[in-house]
Chains A and B, each alone.
Chain A
Amino acid sequence: MGLTIAAENLRQVFNRQTIFSKVSFTVGEGTVLLIAGRNGSGKSTLVKILCGVLTPTGGKVTIDGDGALDQFARKARVGLVAPYLQVYEEFSALENLHLSMTLRGFRSDPSAHRALLERVALDPKRRDPVRGFSSGMKQRLKYAMALSHHPPILVLDEPMSNLDADGTAIVRSIMEDQRKAGILVVATNDLTDCDRWDTEVNLNEQR
């Protein structure tokens, strides 16, 4: 059996207020998991839990083979694009990609980075700091950074935010490729962001 993510009875409480509870699902390779819900329903919280940057109040998330992997290997399985995930504004796009690889303990490959920037339609020759980029260009860079280490699990929170029509088309192509290559997780309150999904977690029903 291929890669699977299993969430068991997840519960999250902030300041004595239950954000969601009894969230359980299992998704396998080649599938799309849609996390839906209104604003404040806990989509981003669930995304952070799945990515391992937040410990849930209750329940657990298991990704196949967790026990046998070191911390680098566990982190390398996930790529995340989210509005609250920031890039380093004082560095160039290429430097951000270099950081994205070396912080994960990988060797940096400039030619692969340039190819990634071309894929998201950013100019690989630009050397200026990212602080001069538009919000849409920063969103494209986040995609390049999330894909730089070829993660089997790609998690997208509000995947189309700040993107123009070209950017949206690029993201749809990335989503399609990821669906075939591993697991795609999409968290959104706009269902037009995701053409199709195999499993849906609706957080409006999980209080």
Chain B
Amino acid sequence: MNNADRYSTRWLRATTAVFLKDWHSELRTRYAISALGMFVITTISIILFSLGGEPASPDVLSGMLWVVLFFAAMSGLSRTFVMEEERGTAMTVQLQSPPSAVYFGKLLFNLVLGAGLTLLTVVLYALLINGFVIRSYGLFAAVIALGSIGLATASTIIAAIIARANTKGTLYPVLSFPILLPLLMTVIKATRMASEGASWSDAGGEFQILVSYIVVVMTTSYLLFEYIWKD
């Protein structure tokens, strides 16, 4: 009988259900995918035209890559909570699932969406931007992966906070910036190091910061989510 299932089994089922609900909903409505795709293409085009074929330094190019990723995340990763509020289904989920299942289901959705966004941006950026050269591929892949996870983790909890505000659109990047600043500074530096051919040991400090950032934000989000979500 269903009721006999263990708590962990039911939690996993509910978390997966939250993720799949958002995933199928996104595939049918394409709100976030369209917003992210258009944003990335538009922004990279503007960078391309403004550079005009002139090579820029690795510092500038690394910074611009993360500027694109930051603002793209701001335009798409809040949808998972904002949509629930806008269509009035937040209470339906509150009534059915415990907060931890909602949080991790939505975090999983944002991680997948964030990974797709990062992949699209990096591929377009590497193909189109003149002078963006990576010399340490493994290091670059690790930085991009950890940066994407950090971006999705922080964006998820901030989206939950701003979902009920009247000025969601402006509040989201404004609130995100100070929280994401340590992450952005670290990934920009680590991306520059990867483009300059630094070794893993050279970037050890940056990786420690990135992993610590993800662990701290995820743990804090998990602890605070019930208070943010309920009332």
Q: Which residues of A contact B (CB under 8 A)?
A: 48, 51-55, 70-73, 75-76, 78, 80, 84-91, 99-100, 102-107, 129
Contact = CB atoms under 8 A, between A and B. Distances in A.
Given A53-B91, A86-B92, A75 B2 contact: no
B7 A107 contact: no
Contact of B92 (A70, A72, A87, A107): A87
**Do most interface residues of chain B lie in helix, strand or loop, or is the interface mixed?**
helix
Given A75-B96, A75-B98, A100-B96, A88 B91 contact: no
B42 interface: no
Contact of A55 (B13, B25, B230): B230
Contacts of B3: 73, 76
A49 B198 CA distance: 57
A183 to B, nearest CB: 17
A130 to B, nearest CB: 11
Contacts of B94: 53
A103 B14 contact: yes
Contacts, number: 85
Contact of B97 (A75, A78, A88, A89): A75
B21 A99 contact: yes
Interface residues of B, number: 31
A72 B13 CA distance: 11
B92 A104 contact: no
Contacts of A86: 87-89, 91-92
Contacts of A102: 13-14, 16-17
Interface string B17-42: 11001001100110000000000000
Contacts of B17: 99, 102-103
Contacts of B96: 75, 100, 103-104
B11 interface: yes
B230 to A, nearest CB: 7
A105 B10 contact: yes
Contacts of B93: 103
Contacts of A51: 95
A85 B14 contact: no
17 contacts: A51-B95, A53-B91, A55-B230, A55-B231, A72-B14, A75-B98, A76-B3, A84-B88, A85-B91, A86-B88, A90-B25, A99-B21, A103-B18, A103-B101, A104-B10, A105-B101, A107-B2
